[in-house]
Amino acid sequence: MKQKTPEQELELLRKNLLHERAIWEHINENGCNDPFWADGCNMNLTRNHILSYRNEIANCCEKHNLPLPEEYFLKVPPEVDDNYMANFNQKARVDRLKQHGNTLIRKKKKFIDDGQMEFC
């Protein structure tokens, strides 16, 4: 198997970070289908993936003396309440989560990606 160049490795990390951001935004708007965990818990897990990719990007750039890509400076989505549900229309899922003692909330977390970069 051919080893990736540092540039290819960085490109993959950059794409993965963007993919995770899209997943977070999708869950925030539409919810997900996880039968055992509320949307907020899945959003926080996805947020952790974003933070992990940012860390991997920083390490890759430092190791190979590459500039940090633009994606590194994108805003990180906020943490949300683990019991947040974007979609209460999934009756069976909502009922199952409530049976496990979860107090589900509807308050949507606003995340405005206004194109402003974060200074890290």
User: Tens digits of per-residue pLDDT, 87-115?
Assistant: 889 899 999 999 988 889 887 767 766 55
Give the model's pLDDT for residue 105: 85
pLDDT greater than 70 at residue 54? yes
pLDDT greater than 90 at residue 117? no
Residue 52 to residues 2, 20, 67, 104, 110: CA-CA distances in angstroms?
25, 11, 18, 27, 22
Paired with 105 in beta bridges are 84
- Which residue did the predictor score with more confidence, 69 or 88? 69
**Per-residue pLDDT averaged across 29-38, rounded?**
94
**Per-residue pLDDT averaged across 37-65, rounded?**
97
